[in-house]
Structure 1
Amino acid sequence: MPRKSTPREPATETAARPAWLPDFRPGKGARYLQVVAAMEQAVADGGLSPGDRLPPQRQLAELLGVDLTTVTRALAEAKRRHLVEARGALGTFVAAPTVELAQMVDLSMNVPPPPEGLDFDDLLRRGMSQVLMRTDANLLMTYQLGGGSSPDKAAGALWLAPMLGEVAPARLVACPGAQAALAALILALTPPGGTIVTEPLCYPGLRLAAEQLGRAVASVAADDQGMRPDALEAACREHGARVAYLNPTSQNPNARTMPAQRRRDIARVAEQRGIAIIEDDPYWLLTPHAPPPLAHYSPAHVYYIATLSKCLSPGLRTAYLVTPPAADQGAVLAALRSFALMSTPLSTALATQWVHDGTALALLGNIRAECAARLALARGMLGSLGHPPSAGIHMWHLLPSYWTSRELTQAAHAEDLRVTASDAFHAGPNPPNAIRISLGGVKERARLALALKKLADLLARMPRQHREIVV
């Protein structure tokens, strides 16, 4: 006897579109990567929580207006990033982050964040393909004169135009990173045993290079606008210093930007006293509305360093040094060649290619957007406890009175978080009670959010009291 058919249920209305699904935008990477990035953002913002069930793949494809393959690739990538887990016939669910958080999360290394939706593998493949098409491979695998080729210097001049305007390529030196440029300038501009003056809080790489090269570093009093001009004059008289080091834009570590008038005043002191200024300016392009560099106000006295490591990628190992028009560039090159015969030809060629073809500028725009998103995330996670800047890749966090910088750093390490204590940047006693938090070293924004939440919870509670056990 034929089985009686059961009437089908009437078709349900189209499912509501989840708020976390992306609106695809050109220039933001492949669509499947935009889906993954939206998922990461939703986890960070709380729009998706561990255990939430995602719509079936076909339904997701319909809601997004894409083919099933795009959704399949997106979910595979999300699974690889431990964002989701498949539970057979039950479907796909937002994964719990316990395994990832068991690893150390590094909030101590100042690197630019990977932009949302960027396929860096594809970017590198295309970039290297262009380099090999336009360059003799033999030249990339042999010794080259230090200071960069003509195309390298032309790329440097193009990259520096927003900061300094037109720069003669002859004034440029392409260096294997800012640290190498800094060490070369210390050797070229100061005598053995000489003194470099800088702000009380400064980049640790300066102190390290000076110490290794047998130079002293003396602190110059600063206020909330940066180094004080009167204190600079006094320090130069006291120590006989002829070189000052400054990082005036989104300063490392306190993220402060020196205003234009203070830059003019410092430049005036340099001109009056014949002081050379080393201007280390890695964050200018990440800082909207930054004043012109010190080199703009006193080009005859400022050696300007701009590295690609902090605004594009450390792997490029390329920094541009601009020397004053009348400077002895030969002395700088000789100092540089004494420990770094040349920049790595392959990475420098890639940097040059990217600057000339516009890839570097496009990548910079994406990194700026990612920096802004991460700083907004930090403000949301840390609330009133934090004072994040409006731009850049790090923040300076003043601690509540019940925490010291060293104690908080150690407690964070015990929680699988790595931050940097203030004494790493401060010479002498009584460093500020603060930590530096770097926002670019964590690849996934969702994981960064979880780390910042953990740090905020740690900051909000009192330190544990350590009591001796007496037996």
Structure 2
Amino acid sequence: MLTKLSSSWNTHLTHQTQRPAYLLIADIIADGINSGEFQPRDRLPPLRDLAVSLSLNYTTVTRGYAEAKRRGLIDSRPGLGSFIRGKVPAVPLTGGSSYEMTMNSPIEPGEELAQAIRDGAVNMFAQKDIIHLLRYQDFGGTADDKMMAKVWLEKQLPPVSVEEVLITPGIHSALVGLLTLLCRRGGSVAVGSLIYPGLKAIASQLNIPLQSLPCDEDGPLPRAFEHQCQTGNIGALYVNPTLQNPTTLTIPLRRREALADVAERYSIPVIEDEAYAALATDRIASFSELIPQLTWYITGMSKCFGPGLRTAFVKGPGRRNTELLAGALRALNVMASPITNGLVAQWIQDGTADRVLDSIRVEAGIRQKLAADILQPFTVRASKQGFHLWLLLPRHHNWNPAEVAVKLRELGVSAVSSAAFCTDNNPPDALRICLGGAWSRELCAENLQTISHVLQYPEHYHSILL
């Protein structure tokens, strides 16, 4: 490996004389991986040996390896050295033909509830003027739709004013609108060290920086948040307080109060993404209750009904601010689908939505019990009310989460590496496992058994893991 790197160094140096040396080192490693010259688990030479071979100082080579690690090209372990991580193949799109378990899909309802869903749809089309539903509507939903949104929101919140409610085409679109509105004059978004990947993608697309906050077992640290408020240009705080994706953490009341206190003292808006709040049976005061004048509360139907139901409800901090968001969302989305809004209103009104939610909670509890039994030898963070879990890889192995995810995918089991959620360039050795994507309880158990076997017997998967 030392000879290969030295040879490539001389070639690159001839054509890239202006590029900093540490970046050239990372480029050489990337080229070697792409060409197949460097293979996963190839050991890189020690820093001092490479520095001598390339006639560079130790600090420059250290920066080169750090840059390669930042790009996800190598993995370093104290006492073991640095290794090639290798390319992680993209997950092919399924075209809707089957569930992709890397997506955190809710558990599907059984046939009885499926019939209730169909009946509700038939009733809606029988009662509504279909031609009217095909026309442009006022953005944010009709008065009837907003009343149904108010009913759903008040399952998690105190009484809500309809003037503060908007109906949007999914939580994701609401987040796009909020980041556009809150950060259009510059500023970054303070986030935890592990967050919903969709927000990372939105921020990247809008060129909005994310300021990572260190976390403990209760969530983002208030002192770190206050430090960012004092020293940085913070435009908003983003939190996913209930059954957080990916760690399943529910932020306790005391930590919510501490973060809310900082946000209030520095007048920082809070984006409260409560995609999973409806699943939780133990209600904790929301940021929208603690600091209503600053909080944008978002919840939706996709995580408690089905990902195809792209309807979300936003409760804004006052009528005026809600109108400002409506303007931003109108420019981005024109409007949410009146037909989808009508279906959601029908299912909330006739009780189908509550029945589906209860069904998901029951099945989630059963599958979480399966997971706890099958993955008993390992460290798992989970909630019986949620349909995903956070699996920490054993410390006594030289694990690479991306490589484990690749091997599992080859075996037909989808998992997401911690790097997808990481905001501080220091992903933990962990995977997110979705229990809802499997068609049946039996398939879910089979997939969990596969995960357990891979982790217990890595020598059987030597080509990827070792």
Normalization by structure 2: what TM-score?
0.75
> Equivalent residue for 2:404?
408
Residue 214 of structure 1 and its aligned partner are, at CA, apart by 2.1
Determine the C-alpha separation between the residues in 1 that align with 2:229 and 2:185.
17
> Equivalent residue for 1:454?
450
> Equivalent residue for 2:101?
107
Corresponding letter in the other structure for 1:110 = N
Map 1:139-154 to 2 at 5 A.
139-154=132-147
Map 1:43-442 to 2 at 5 A.
106-116=100-110, 118-120=112-114, 122-325=115-318, 327-387=320-380, 388-401=382-395, 402=397, 403-442=399-438
SS at match of 1:258: coil
The Cα offsets for residues 94-144 of structure 1, whole Å up to 9 and x where unpaired, read as xxxxxxxxx997431111101345451x23321121111221110121221
Determine the C-alpha separation between the residues in 1 that align with 2:113 and 2:151.
25
The Cα offsets for residues 384-424 of structure 1, whole Å up to 9 and x where unpaired, read as 31423232111000001322211210110121111000000
Asked whether the equivalents of residues 202 and 252 of structure 1 are also in contact (C-alpha less than 8 Å), the reply is yes
Corresponding letter in the other structure for 1:331 = L
Asked whether the equivalents of residues 316 and 348 of structure 1 are also in contact (C-alpha less than 8 Å), the reply is no
> Which segment is superposed worse, 352-361 or 382-391?
382-391
Structure 1 residues 115, 129: closer, same or farther in 2, change over 3 A?
closer
The Cα offsets for residues 208-243 of structure 1, whole Å up to 9 and x where unpaired, read as 111111211110121110011111111122221031
Residue 326 of structure 1 and its aligned partner are, at CA, apart by 5.4
Corresponding letter in the other structure for 1:213 = L
Determine the C-alpha separation between the residues in 2 that align with 1:242 and 1:270.
11
Determine the C-alpha separation between the residues in 2 that align with 1:104 and 1:342.
29
Asked whether the equivalents of residues 117 and 347 of structure 2 are also in contact (C-alpha less than 8 Å), the reply is no
Determine the C-alpha separation between the residues in 2 that align with 1:465 and 1:366.
41
Determine the C-alpha separation between the residues in 2 that align with 1:244 and 1:432.
23
SS at match of 2:371: helix
Determine the C-alpha separation between the residues in 2 that align with 1:113 and 1:166.
30
Determine the C-alpha separation between the residues in 2 that align with 1:366 and 1:391.
11
Corresponding letter in the other structure for 2:344 = A
Asked whether the equivalents of residues 104 and 416 of structure 1 are also in contact (C-alpha less than 8 Å), the reply is no
What is the CA RMSD across the aligned residues, in angstroms? 1.8
Asked whether the equivalents of residues 193 and 214 of structure 1 are also in contact (C-alpha less than 8 Å), the reply is no
Structure 1 residues 241, 337: closer, same or farther in 2, change over 3 A?
same
Structure 1 residues 105, 184: closer, same or farther in 2, change over 3 A?
closer
Structure 1 residues 347, 283: closer, same or farther in 2, change over 3 A?
same
Residue 448 of structure 1 and its aligned partner are, at CA, apart by 1.0
SS at match of 2:458: coil
Determine the C-alpha separation between the residues in 1 that align with 2:122 and 2:455.
48
Structure 1 residues 383, 105: closer, same or farther in 2, change over 3 A?
farther
SS at match of 1:390: coil
* Bigger radius of gyration: 1
SS at match of 2:445: helix
SS at match of 1:270: helix
> Equivalent residue for 2:23?
none
> Equivalent residue for 1:5?
none
Determine the C-alpha separation between the residues in 1 that align with 2:170 and 2:369.
29
Determine the C-alpha separation between the residues in 2 that align with 1:194 and 1:332.
17
Corresponding letter in the other structure for 1:367 = I
Gaps of 5+ in 2: 1-96
Corresponding letter in the other structure for 1:107 = M
Determine the C-alpha separation between the residues in 1 that align with 2:334 and 2:455.
46
**Identical columns (%):** 33
Gaps of 5+ in 1: 1-102
1:443 pairs with one of 439, 442, 451: 439
Determine the C-alpha separation between the residues in 1 that align with 2:267 and 2:225.
12
Asked whether the equivalents of residues 104 and 417 of structure 1 are also in contact (C-alpha less than 8 Å), the reply is no
Any runs of at least 4 consecutive aligned residues in structure 1 with deviations exceeding 6 A, and if so which?
none
Determine the C-alpha separation between the residues in 2 that align with 1:150 and 1:357.
18
Structure 1 residues 412, 218: closer, same or farther in 2, change over 3 A?
same
The Cα offsets for residues 251-307 of structure 1, whole Å up to 9 and x where unpaired, read as 110001100111111111111110100000111121221412111111111100001
Determine the C-alpha separation between the residues in 1 that align with 2:217 and 2:136.
47
